[in-house]
Structure 1
């Protein structure tokens, strides 16, 4: 009961294909004048409104450079400049179209929510749709000469325009609907033909289709017709373009998983097993050599050499395809069953008190076994996927990080690798939750993972890095939950001092997801100690139990209170805990907490979202647990 729902994670959009942006095509990037941004924007506005093509291009290039800074991207979007840029997407001049597409893509990606909302308000979808329909419905790359080492304008425009479409599509459902209405998917489907369009353009198209097909039956129905083509792409290879080939296979695997849910079980398992093998190949790549080369190059190169730019491009490509692989794997190990939690919360404001057997109240489905098909488990084990995912959680060395932080390109690479690390922890969380202990390497290996993640959470991580803390504590929680389910005896030497980082972390963290994870970790620790039957651990169990009870009276979030109460009911589920329950006045304290939870639920019912499940479960069980445990403790007093 009360397990937090594991969520599907849509791909994180930071040029996910790793393909070069317009910024990568310039040998040198001119510095943006920052002493007076208002004047700079005014000058750009004049350039954009000029009849001279060179002036327009200069203005667009300046805006693109400025938009790499988040605050400037937002300001550009809010100043209605995008209303001027949008029509340039259908300009007669292909150079202007390419520059406009690249500029808008950068504004959308770097400006975040504020920027993309402004773009949509300014109706960027109309010229974007026209561009794709008018120029790429019958476009063939052979019609455009390709200079060595450079992308032609039409290719470049396609990459930037489609990247803009998937960025907006990921953020806003209206873009998905517009894409359906305009039948944009049919334009993109053509690009599955790698023999005509090449791996690079095919990858961009597939990445966009991944976004457009997410929870979109219309798109899935169309893409289902392309299933054989996508299966064939899982075998696509190129001796000269190994990274590009692996990226294409990985993206194809993701799209197959989007559309494969309606397949017959046999076909689904066959395809999924193949996909898992592809993911293993993708995670085999590393970028150590590129990192080492850049660590040497950054301090000495005022302007990055071609070799350094190539290394940066390869790091981005590898990190992007591995991020995609981690997200596919995490989703394969996610239980997406919907619950009726909301209706349970609406039944009554009062806690239910009808008679029910306590075993029914406290029933926990033990998941020490794997809850995914044995065929998939075998592939995961044979390809060593858990180990490969773990390797992606390793941080960049401190000395390398310091060097990268002094270079704008290096900062972007660090950001990319940080996202990859967080995705790896989230993937690890789902793997641990879904696999049996044997496939995870046994109790000792799982305990080692738990301690190593603990070092990240309590020693290495920046307290302000909420994404890392949330993903790492999720994996840490999953590992301990699994150890609790198999009653592992690995914490006999634990002391109160060892608990302090977790206690302090819960008290000090502003993020409710991290707090909930830490509370669950503490609860599972107490449960493992309780199941171990070691008398010396009673003081630790008491300490944790009191902390959880105290948290319930101070916590603001109803669902976090519910997580804490769920942990308490786990700890005191067995009759052997009656004496300890009496010792800490458990029943009396829970009677105080019950109305607190009731009021919080009433206040926050509309914003519980995915957390409604744990709240509903605890709401249904708490009063019955109090009644049952109260009867047990009362018998002790009589005796």
Structure 2
């Protein structure tokens, strides 16, 4: 239950506001290297102070302090979780909010180990109690109508939002937390919060994130979804779009509904899948570059209008703005002047920036959901990135090494409903469009403003997600549904241009992994359909020489697989001897020297494919002394599997490696017959 520990994305964090900003700033400047009287000890001590205001500021300080990784061990030693936990039920609503904010940041910044520790120290007990109290508080009749209208209701929803974020982070990392979620009836609570989406979209988004996490691989929870519960999700998923944040909400709920597909009647499956993919298609249709430019212009205009309005009010009241020289003589007036400038009072994340971030997050989420929909019943994409692509070893062993080998990428399975919806909503086309580099004008706009600059990284992430999504679609859909042979050739040229038009592509590991994965899938599809390849030998070797130096195993696996695919095609053509010798020598070098058995196994796989058939391949194998090199390496490979395998690799990986080992023995025997024939 819960998500796997292989990947965790950065979580939104709590930002202290109001009078506690100063306390938080002091904490941010402290370091854990200080002695027992440092900021951590002082802030934790203040959590017990009789004054609610002091407790609130201490929580705000801790919310900032936990964002510094060196501070985390010291906070753990001082039992910060056990001290913060009771404050989730503090009499003061403000303390509850900031305590939940501190725990939110702790769970977001601390990773799996910290979340495990939080569960072990029973943070779930006060957290669940707080969620239940907030739920009851929203319906309480004890408060006066004015209180409900004013701060109490808003405070309760704000506290609930912080608490749901803590719950989401912990359930993402810890299966025991998911079990507690199931047993304590948290589903009913968070669905009540979600039902308020029309008046509090922030809270609804937090709930949707949480639900997407806890509904994944959690059959126990699925039994708890009643018809009213499903209706809440349906209502949110079909809600009218009034802002980018509602687009994000609908996308997240669509992901949750996909997780619930097993409890949806079969007669409604096609309808649900169409509804989900319609939402995802609409999200991907939006141009993120143009949206960024428009939102930044709207922000600039709003700030200008607000400043002009403030200046008009000042002049109407006879309080003309004072020049900077006069300010030095009148410190009190300087303080007044600063307060009248709207830009000084804006929160870090203003309206336009929030809207833009919501759209970019929705597009990233949509791409991730599409991949999940396509690959749900299959091994993870990382498996020969952890495993190897050679899971057709049985078919390989049955061959005589004269048929060119099997398919490098195992075929995926796609239901008719998903297949139809993907093509009807033009998902491949929309994903393709997202693989282009971010709009240069949008990048320029963001680079000029510190608060917008992080969006550049977000746009790059979307490009990488689109490339990974493209890899999946190319592996799944037939050529006709991808636009036919011309579309594949155009796509190949597009990917080559993306790769080689970026001078420092070797420094961007995420991009290199994503584009090499997409190229690998595309080249395999083209090879299987006898479509001419797109990369020149020089481009191919440039990519492989860069990729094989990467610290990322997935990149190294991809580039040797690409060499195997391309080489197996060239082996059947005339005049390719020198290229095949270059490819063979490169793969031998990788197989014998790469520190990862996974990469070495993939390189051997590629060698089997390249030199399995073809006159040019036979001549090349003799000239690079392939047989003698593999004979010498064979016992070394067996020994490495025996010595390294049990401690470093999973049972599935070892199974694949054992198959490669057997295939190596057979390939050596095959090469012996080739060499005898050519040298006799």
Relative to the length of structure 1, the TM-score reads 0.83
Q: Is the 8 A contact 2:201 2:245 kept in 1?
A: yes
Which residue is 2:670 aligned to?
A: 628
Q: Is the 8 A contact 2:405 2:609 kept in 1?
A: no
- Tell me by how many angstroms 1:383 deviates: 2.1
Cα-to-partner distance string for 1:463-511 (whole Å, 9 max, x where unaligned): 45433332232222222222222222134x824x323422321342122
Which residue is 2:466 aligned to?
A: 424
Which residue is 1:23 aligned to?
A: 15
Matches within 5 A, 1:131-146: 131-136=130-135, 139-140=138-139, 145=148
CA distance in 2, matches of 1:147, 1:138: 14
1:392 corresponds to 2:392: no
Matches within 5 A, 1:540-619: 540-576=579-615, 577-602=617-642, 603-609=644-650, 611-612=653-654, 614-619=656-661
Which residue is 2:283 aligned to?
A: 282
- Tell me by how many angstroms 1:574 deviates: 2.6
- Which one scores higher on RCO, CA 8 angstroms, separation ≥ 6? 1
Q: Is the 8 A contact 2:222 2:260 kept in 1?
A: yes
Q: Indicate the structure (1 or 2) with the bigger Cα radius of gyration.
A: 2
CA distance in 2, matches of 1:355, 1:58: 68
Matches within 5 A, 1:145-544: 145=148, 152-194=154-196, 199-223=201-225, 228-229=230-231, 232-233=234-235, 236-238=238-240, 241-261=242-262, 266-289=267-290, 291-292=292-293, 303=344, 305=346, 309-334=350-375, 336-337=377-378, 356-358=398-400, 364-365=406-407, 371-396=413-438, 404=446, 409-457=451-499, 459=502, 463-491=506-534, 494-495=536-537, 497-531=538-572, 533=573, 535-544=574-583
CA distance in 2, matches of 1:10, 1:320: 20
CA distance in 2, matches of 1:45, 1:489: 66
**Partner SS, residue 162 of structure 2:** helix
- Tell me by how many angstroms 1:573 deviates: 2.7
CA RMSD of aligned residues (A): 4.0
CA distance in 1, matches of 2:359, 2:595: 42
Structure 2 stretches of 5 or more lacking a match? 305-341, 388-392
CA distance in 1, matches of 2:611, 2:471: 26
Q: Is the 8 A contact 2:237 2:254 kept in 1?
A: no
- Tell me by how many angstroms 1:66 deviates: 3.7
CA distance in 2, matches of 1:457, 1:355: 35
- Tell me by how many angstroms 1:571 deviates: 1.6
- Tell me by how many angstroms 1:430 deviates: 1.3
- Tell me by how many angstroms 1:219 deviates: 1.1
- Tell me by how many angstroms 1:614 deviates: 4.2
CA distance in 1, matches of 2:268, 2:493: 40
- Tell me by how many angstroms 1:552 deviates: 0.7
Cα-to-partner distance string for 1:57-115 (whole Å, 9 max, x where unaligned): 11222222344445456654555333322211111222111111112112221333454
- Tell me by how many angstroms 1:542 deviates: 1.9
Structure 1 stretches of 5 or more lacking a match? 1-6, 346-350
Cα-to-partner distance string for 1:193-222 (whole Å, 9 max, x where unaligned): 358875543443232122112222211222
Which residue is 1:128 aligned to?
A: 127
**Partner SS, residue 575 of structure 2:** helix
- Tell me by how many angstroms 1:140 deviates: 3.1
- Tell me by how many angstroms 1:164 deviates: 1.2
